[in-house]
Amino acid sequence: METITINVDKRDIKGKGAARSLRRSNMIPAVIYRGGDSMPIKIPKAEITKFINTTAGEQVMVKLQFSDGENKFALMKDFQVDPVKRDLLHADFFEVSLTEKVRVIVHVTTVGEPIGVKRDGGVLQHVLREIEVECLPDKIPGHIKVDISNLGIGQSFHVSDIKLGEEIKILTDPDGVIANVVAPVTEEVAKPEEVAAAETTAEPEVIKKGKKEEAEEEKK
């Protein structure tokens, strides 16, 4: 697994005012979590923005390098963006040990055009786009690619079809469907004679209903 180094510093001042001040100086407030503990840090905006844009949602281990020489390995858990300005506001990291297994969510991408779509006109459906795995931090796959080119109509690619090796345990239900190919939906068009027959059948019902209503009026 790829590891990217990001320079960070500890921060002592907390609160919204301090966070705004950090952003004005092109620093992004962040937090490192480990068990029940947390450590507030600050990261150069340029570095964290480049990291997010480069990884594009992939699971990538980060080496957080402190100015005092200390370093911590971590995974980014989340980040917040201003809904209007789209500026990065905050980031959360989860500290990991290289000797302890972790559970993470990994994205699944499909490659290839199913034969059931290309040859038979079927429709490809994506069901699961991510799965949960357990492994050592340096074994986490950035993403998982699965080849679905052999899928025919009525066939599915299941979680159990993914092969990652003994070092990575898949926790998601093996019966879960990653993608499948279904038959194209065809809309039946009624024949002219069927339409005419339906109209003829419906007419007496209307007349009958009218007579019933007239009879009820006579009783009043």
For the record, the structure tokens of 110 come out as 């499909």
First to last CA, the chain: 87
pLDDT tens, the chain, 220 aa long: 678 999 999 998 777 888 889 999 999 999 999 988 999 999 999 999 999 998 877 888 999 999 989 999 999 999 999 999 889 999 999 999 999 999 999 999 999 999 999 999 999 999 999 999 999 999 999 899 999 999 999 999 999 999 998 999 999 999 999 999 999 887 655 556 655 555 555 544 444 444 444 445 444 4
Is 105 in contact with 132 (CB distance < 8 Å)?
yes
Report the predicted TM-score, pTM, of the whole model to 2 decimal places: 0.74
102-182 fold:
RNA Polymerase Alpha Subunit; Chain A, domain 2 (2.170.120)
Q: Which amino acid is at 169?
A: K
Query: What's the distance, CA 17 to chain centroid?
Result: 33
**CATH 2.40.240.10 corresponds to the domain 3-95:** yes
